[in-house]
Amino acid sequence: MKLKTNNLREAGLIVIIATLCLVMSFASEFFLTWENMRAMLLSFAIEGIVVVGMTVLLIVGGIDLAVGSVVCLSMVIVGALFLHGFDPWTASVIAVVASAGIGLCMGLCVTKIGLSHFIASLAFMVIARGLSLAITQGTPQSLFSLPAEFKLIGQGTIYGLPVVILIFGFIVVVSDYILRKSVLFRKVFYTGSNERAAMYAGIDVNSVKLWVTVLCGTMSGIAGVVYTARFGAATPTFGVGMELNVIAAAVIGGASLKGGSGTIYGAVLGLALLSVVTSSLILLDVSVYFQDVIKGAILLIAVSLDHWINSRKQSN
Amino acid sequence: MLLELRGVKKSFGATNALIGVDFSLQAGQIHAVCGENGAGKSTLMKVIDGILQPDVGQIFIEGTQVLIRDPGHAARLGISLVHQEISLCGSASVAENIFMYEINQSKRLLMDYQELQVRAKKIINTLDKEIDTSINVENLTLSNQQLVEIAKALALDCKILILDEPTTSLTEVESKSLFKILRSLAKGGIGIVYISHRMAEIFDNCSHITVLRDGASVFNGLVKDTTPDEIISKMVGRELGKYYPEKSKTIGTDPLFEVINVSDASRVNSVSFQILPGEILGIAGLVGAGRSEIAKTICGLTPKTSGSVKINGEPVNASSYRAALAEGIAYLSEDRKSEGVFLDLSIQSNISSMALRAVQTTMMTVDAEKEKVQAEELGLRLKLKASSVAANTSSLSGGNQQKVAIAKLLATRPRIIFMDEPTRGVDVGAKAEIHQVLRQLCNEGVGVAVISSELPEIIGLCDRTIVIRNGTVVGQLSAHETTEESILRMASGMA
């Protein structure tokens, strides 16, 4: 039944996305071209890595508003270390570890002090952004001297497929499998669904919450490294507002803010939908300022629909 | 001896939940534990399951003294507890819930859902029941959820099985098959602790019985050597205090307030009763019987699906709490801290909060002077002890906070007032003062209904009592018929 409802939602999202693409192909002959598809996929592939971490965190009943800032901090750390003579691979490892560290601090605030994820991550959103600005003194770092092998991560192709998309695909497939099948991640669902019941079953709910928060930070860090390789630059204002897009995608894809449910494929499809909409709006020449209004409306409709279906299910 | 507890004590702040419990369980026993609401049964079970740690006292399992750290540890020691409140993961499947403990302990990397389903089905089948083990628990009925909770305990390879009122939401047939299993488990050498209010169940199925009263074990012995009457008198066995106000001498005949066939979507089932002028009506029943739900539905806090209410014979609109308040029907919540008062606001702004119009200036702002006067008047009437009415409500003791919550309702000038556990967690002095105020209100012509789990309070305060079971009125008792025994009999379905 659970699989069925999830599959139903995912199928629904695919139908909506396909319909939208079909309609758009009449509106703009450019839309259904390989170039445009590739551009769309590229535009959300890296964000998709962040969505994976966020989805798991939402399932445990948490939320991370700091993802955009942490992605940016990770980029800035890679950039700054590289400019100070580190090789970019070492710099990347340090950046990912630092991002995981932010996740760890956030998780400790939640599990040891007892703050909510919302407040803890709000604080770290500001802290991480501040660190990025402090490290760069507020100016973008140009990194065009990055070695070609490193830039390959973000810009190269293998058999015509962008490496970015391969990385994204790999992370999605693996994390989906682990999330659904592994014993370890079952505890995430239990904890998010009913923390007390999980505790009564002997699950150490605090350590589950802690490592899931660290995981989310780590994914943001990895995304930051890939972005750096893709852009060959690190801007201290990058990723502002990314958290909203990422949370919206996960929620459209079936993750509940109350915890206990969510799937990776659902969240990725949610992100794809938002991305197709954005791309359509651009091709249709809709004002940039108006695009957010439509995206917000889509989120509202998706979530309301979900709420409505759920409340009907419960009254039956 | 499978399990033995010696002198277990546990307190929460100033409340002594357990003041010295001795308990022993042998393999093969089905051992009933009973006691009134608040006697400490659930606390005791939480101590055995490691959710709570005793302040004083020893626990022995098979002769070895143990310190049970947490529920996981309890499970490793062979203890399994079926909770009174259902604690399942709603968005996980039946099978995943049943094996939650095992999955947590598992050293395997991947889940084998198919195998889980097969084994879950087997356990459910032993309960003579068909439940689809692949659907999410949140889609099950309450009684099926209860069965899953029991299946979860059976899935553990336990030596000691504790069931905390497991049959409250089961049908007769389901209860019967549960007992069949319990008996066969007991034969196999498992010790079973069975907590229940239902005398019939206990006397049909249990071999031993322990009675708790006010946090202490006061009786234990063989079920066949005792009678339900003896057990009920052991559960009660208290002297009534002498500080209750005098009962009413003149009770009218035309009802002040009438409730006619009120139902809600789930817990309230065709409730009808009256409040007569000059009487305080008691509403008694066991925890979970639906007393608060009934009051909330009458006051429009939860939607009615049918039924109506009348004041002085006139039908009134109580479809929402706002409408009910406008008609003069007020409800005092049993949960003072989260529903009763605004802890961070001053006493005076708490008291004016439900009737802001009374302290309003012509410019629609709050007239602080009026607010202060009103708070002082009501404070005086309720004998509120506070440095000033401008003080924060959080600075008050529990009893005085409760007085603020009551004053807040009185500021709305109610005609009918439902008091849900008006003296819970209140010290003896404040309790008597609150009782005096209720009697005064009643004499002034306000209809007063008191919900209380404390039977002495019902007996001492109320002029007439209705008893609630399964969301409906199962009987009423006049002042001279009201005893703890008569209430408990009706409430547990024995009468």
Question: How far is residue A138's CA from residue A131's CA, in Å, rounded to a whole number?
Answer: 10
- What integer is the mean pLDDT of B196-215? 87
**CA closest to A256 among chain B residues:** B91
pLDDT at A83: 94
- What integer is the mean pLDDT of A293-300? 86
A304 vs A66, residue with greater confidence: A66
* Chain B interface includes A84 (CB < 8 A): no
pLDDT at A178 over 90: yes
Determine whether the interchain pair A199/B139 forms a contact, defined as Cβ–Cβ distance below 8 Å.
no
* Chain A interface includes B263 (CB < 8 A): no
Residue A10: left if φ>0, alpha if ψ -120 to 50, beta else—which one?
alpha
pLDDT at A141 over 80: yes
Question: How far is residue B278's CA from residue B443's CA, in Å, rounded to a whole number?
Answer: 6
Chain B positions in Cβ-Cβ contact with residue A182 (cut-off 8 Å):
109-111
* Chain A interface includes B136 (CB < 8 A): yes
**CA closest to A180 among chain B residues:** B111
Structure tokens at A187: 């505890």
Sorting pLDDT into bands at 50, 70 and 90, what band is A28? confident
> Which among A193, A202, A261 has CB closest to B101?
A202
Sorting pLDDT into bands at 50, 70 and 90, what band is B4? very high
Pick from A24-33, B392-401, B468-477 the range whose average pLDDT is largest: B468-477
Structure tokens at B427: 């010290």
Question: How far is residue B52's CA from residue B485's CA, in Å, rounded to a whole number?
Answer: 31
Question: How far is residue B48's CA from residue B159's CA, in Å, rounded to a whole number?
Answer: 13
Determine whether the interchain pair B87/A200 forms a contact, defined as Cβ–Cβ distance below 8 Å.
yes
Determine whether the interchain pair B104/A203 forms a contact, defined as Cβ–Cβ distance below 8 Å.
yes
Chain B positions in Cβ-Cβ contact with residue A204 (cut-off 8 Å):
72
CA-based nearest residue to A76, from A87, A91, A89: A91
CA-based nearest residue to B273, from B409, B416, B456, B454: B416
- The minimum CA-CA distance between B101 and chain A, rounded to whole Å, is 5
**CA closest to A262 among chain B residues:** B91
3-state secondary structure A135-159: HHCCCCEECCCCCHHHHHHHHCEEC
- What integer is the mean pLDDT of B332-354? 87
CA-based nearest residue to B88, from B38, B135, B157: B135
Residues 6+ apart with CB under 8 A from B419: B332, B406, B438, B448, B449, B450, B451
Residues 6+ apart with CB under 8 A from B484: B36, B232, B235, B236, B238, B455, B456, B459
Rounded to a whole number of angstroms, the distance between the first and last alpha carbons of chain B is: 37
pLDDT at A121 over 50: yes
> Which among B71, B73, B110 has CB closest to A201?
B71
Chain A positions in Cβ-Cβ contact with residue B136 (cut-off 8 Å):
1-2
User: DSSP characters for B401-455?
Assistant: HHHHHHHHHHTT--SEEEEESTTTT--HHHHHHHHHHHHHHHHTT-EEEEE-S-H
Neighbours of A197 (CB within 10 A): 24
pLDDT at A310: 67
Block residue for tokens 């005064």? B440
- The minimum CA-CA distance between A51 and chain B, rounded to whole Å, is 21
pLDDT at A135 over 50: yes
> Which among A2, A180, A198 has CB closest to B136?
A2
Question: How far is residue A215's CA from residue A226's CA, in Å, rounded to a whole number?
Answer: 17
The rounded percent of chain B whose pLDDT value lies above 70 is 97
pLDDT at B494: 72
The rounded percent of chain B whose pLDDT value lies above 90 is 50
pLDDT at A315 over 60: no
A68 touches A121 (CB < 8 A): no
Determine whether the interchain pair A202/B105 forms a contact, defined as Cβ–Cβ distance below 8 Å.
yes
Chain B positions in Cβ-Cβ contact with residue A194 (cut-off 8 Å):
87-90
- The minimum CA-CA distance between B342 and chain A, rounded to whole Å, is 22
Average pLDDT value for chain B: 88
B294-303 tens-digit pLDDT: 999 999 999 9
pLDDT at B72: 87
Chain A positions in Cβ-Cβ contact with residue B303 (cut-off 8 Å):
none
B276 touches B256 (CB < 8 A): yes
Question: How far is residue A212's CA from residue B236's CA, in Å, rounded to a whole number?
Answer: 50
- The minimum CA-CA distance between A219 and chain B, rounded to whole Å, is 22
Pick from B8-12, B96-100, B106-110 the range whose average pLDDT is largest: B96-100
A145-162 tens-digit pLDDT: 999 999 999 999 888 889
- The minimum CA-CA distance between A187 and chain B, rounded to whole Å, is 7
**DSSP code for B358:** G
**DSSP code for B338:** I
* Chain A interface includes B142 (CB < 8 A): no
Question: How far is residue B16's CA from residue B22's CA, in Å, rounded to a whole number?
Answer: 16
C-alpha B148, offset from chain centre: 22
A34-91 tens-digit pLDDT: 888 888 888 889 999 999 999 999 999 999 999 999 999 999 999 999 999 999 999 9
Determine whether the interchain pair A200/B104 forms a contact, defined as Cβ–Cβ distance below 8 Å.
no
- The minimum CA-CA distance between B208 and chain A, rounded to whole Å, is 27
Mutate to test the interface with B, among A174, A183, A184 (most CBs of B within 10 A): A183
Block residue for tokens 């938002």? A274
> Which among A194, A256, A313 has CB closest to B88?
A194
Question: How far is residue A129's CA from residue A67's CA, in Å, rounded to a whole number?
Answer: 10
- What integer is the mean pLDDT of B197-209? 87
- What integer is the mean pLDDT of B309-319? 93
Q: Which of A246-250, A296-300, B261-265 is least confident?
A: A296-300
Q: Is B476 helix (H, G, I), strand (E, B) or coil?
A: strand
Structure tokens at B66: 């143990």
Chain A positions in Cβ-Cβ contact with residue B146 (cut-off 8 Å):
none
Chain B positions in Cβ-Cβ contact with residue A200 (cut-off 8 Å):
49, 51, 71, 81, 83, 87
Question: How far is residue B495's CA from residue B489's CA, in Å, rounded to a whole number?
Answer: 5
Strand order through the sheet with B416-420: B329-332, B416-420, B447-451, B280-285, B464-469, B472-478
C-alpha A174, offset from chain centre: 15
A79 touches A229 (CB < 8 A): no
Structure tokens at A95: 């950046």
pLDDT at B299: 93
CA-based torsion, A47, A268, B89, B108: positive or negative: negative
**CA closest to B93 among chain A residues:** A2
Determine whether the interchain pair B139/A190 forms a contact, defined as Cβ–Cβ distance below 8 Å.
no
* Chain B interface includes A198 (CB < 8 A): yes
pLDDT at A2 over 60: no
- What integer is the mean pLDDT of B359-363? 83
Chain A positions in Cβ-Cβ contact with residue B103 (cut-off 8 Å):
183, 186-187, 190
Average pLDDT value for chain A: 91
Sorting pLDDT into bands at 50, 70 and 90, what band is B40? confident
C-alpha A275, offset from chain centre: 13
Determine whether the interchain pair A202/B70 forms a contact, defined as Cβ–Cβ distance below 8 Å.
yes
Determine whether the interchain pair B96/A186 forms a contact, defined as Cβ–Cβ distance below 8 Å.
yes
B424-458 tens-digit pLDDT: 877 667 888 899 999 999 999 999 999 998 888 89
* Chain B interface includes A4 (CB < 8 A): no
* Chain A interface includes B157 (CB < 8 A): no
Chain B positions in Cβ-Cβ contact with residue A260 (cut-off 8 Å):
89-92
B42 touches B10 (CB < 8 A): no
pLDDT at B242 over 70: no
B44 touches B18 (CB < 8 A): yes
Question: How far is residue A232's CA from residue A69's CA, in Å, rounded to a whole number?
Answer: 18
B377-434 tens-digit pLDDT: 999 999 888 888 998 888 787 788 999 999 999 999 999 999 999 988 776 678 888 9
Mutate to test the interface with A, among B77, B88, B99, B104 (most CBs of A within 10 A): B104
Q: Which of A31-40, A101-110, B319-328 is least confident?
A: A31-40
Block residue for tokens 């954005």? A278
CA-based nearest residue to B447, from B210, B250, B193, B274: B274
Sorting pLDDT into bands at 50, 70 and 90, what band is B246? confident
pLDDT at A256: 86
- The minimum CA-CA distance between A255 and chain B, rounded to whole Å, is 11
Q: Is B311 helix (H, G, I), strand (E, B) or coil?
A: strand
* Chain B interface includes A124 (CB < 8 A): no
Mutate to test the interface with A, among B100, B109, B146, B164 (most CBs of A within 10 A): B100
B242 vs B182, residue with greater confidence: B182
Pick from A211-225, B67-81, B239-253, B378-392 the range whose average pLDDT is largest: A211-225
